[in-house]
Every structure is written in structure tokens, then in C-alpha cells.
A and B are shown apart, each in its own frame.
Chain A
């Protein structure tokens, strides 16, 4: 069975602090995809990043960076110099291989509050 764990339910930081959101996953598939989505107070799901299981390179996009480690089954997300606009719920998700790999398994989400 597939499972995604986000152990941090809520995190509060002060603006300009760095913050890391943890994601640990379980899967038996050898090919799989990991995702991060942002859900701002407006409620829509905003796609942030997708990573396949064969690409362990870390990625940086502006203030966002992602650390993928297959050895620990983790796909952590770091926001550098956080801003109030980063306040949202962040979801980590996993999808497997095959035609029905589109069936996502989501973690419970981490609510990030960035205080001015």
C-alpha cells in the first residue's frame, strides 16, 4: 500500500525565517512520482513541483527548494526567507506507475503560518 506522512500538522514562523516541511512516503512501486501542492486560503490547489523516482537531484526554484532522498523515502520542502504570502496548507502527494498511477495518495497536509 502507498502512504504519505507529513508529521508536522502546523508550523508557525516569523517572516524571513527559513522553514522545512517534511514528507515521508511508502510505496512498493519502483517507478513513482512525488508532488508538492500549495493550498492558499482561497482554497485552490496550486501545483509546485513533481519529481520522479529516478531523479534524485535536488531542485531550487527561487525561495523554494526540494530535497529528495530515496534512501530515507523523504521528499522535504524548504522555503527560504519566508513571506506572509507563503501562509497556506502544503500537501505532499505520491502517485505510482502504470495506467492508474494517476490515483494520488496525499499526505494530511502541513499548515504553515508566516507571521509579520
Chain B
């Protein structure tokens, strides 16, 4: 199993550009989520999904869109990037319900918006 994979690893955007951060898992997990990590703030939940076709907002959803057309993939879209979206983004997945709330995190994507 590859676990949770994220692409790209690094990305630089200009303000106003759009892009999609990819996240995939091969563990047949129902639950997937996106977090952003900012200095001094830990990781904060952006969006999550409890299955194909079902998504919901987390703590900081503004400026981001998600969709879940398959169990394996959960892309995060930035429609018009802003410097405030400069961050490290982590994708995570788990079974639902999970045993002991165990989660699997991807390696992260470092995004810089100029």
C-alpha cells in the first residue's frame, strides 16, 4: 500500500491563479480530510468527506473547494490563490468509524502564493 499520497510536494503560485492539490489513498478509507499548517497555529481543518459525494466544511473553508467523486481521491481546489493561503497542506484519511480514531497523514504540500 502506498498509503496517503499528495502531489505536488512544492508549488509556487501568483495571486489570482488557480490550482488543485491532489490527495489519494489506497486503503479504501471512507473518511478523508484536508488541513493547513501555519506557524504558531498548528494544523486546522479545511474540509472533510465521509464518503464519495459527501463533503463538509471544517474550521477554515473559505477560499477552498473540494469534491469527492471516488473513494480514493479528495482534491483540494484553490480558485483564486491569495498570499494568505501560503501554507503547508496535509491530507489525511481513516476508516469510518475508525478504530481508536486512527488517522493516516500524507507527506504534505508546501504552497507559496506570491
Contacts and interface: CB of A to CB of B under 8 A. Distances in A.
B42 A102 contact: no
B108 A43 contact: yes
* Main secondary structure on B side of the interface with A: strand
A36 to B, nearest CB: 12
B97 interface: yes
**Range for the number of chain A residues in contact with chain B:** 20 to 34
A95 B101 contact: yes
B110 A43 contact: yes
B45 interface: yes
B5 interface: no
B43 interface: yes
A100 B96 CA distance: 8
B52 interface: no
A68 B18 CA distance: 44
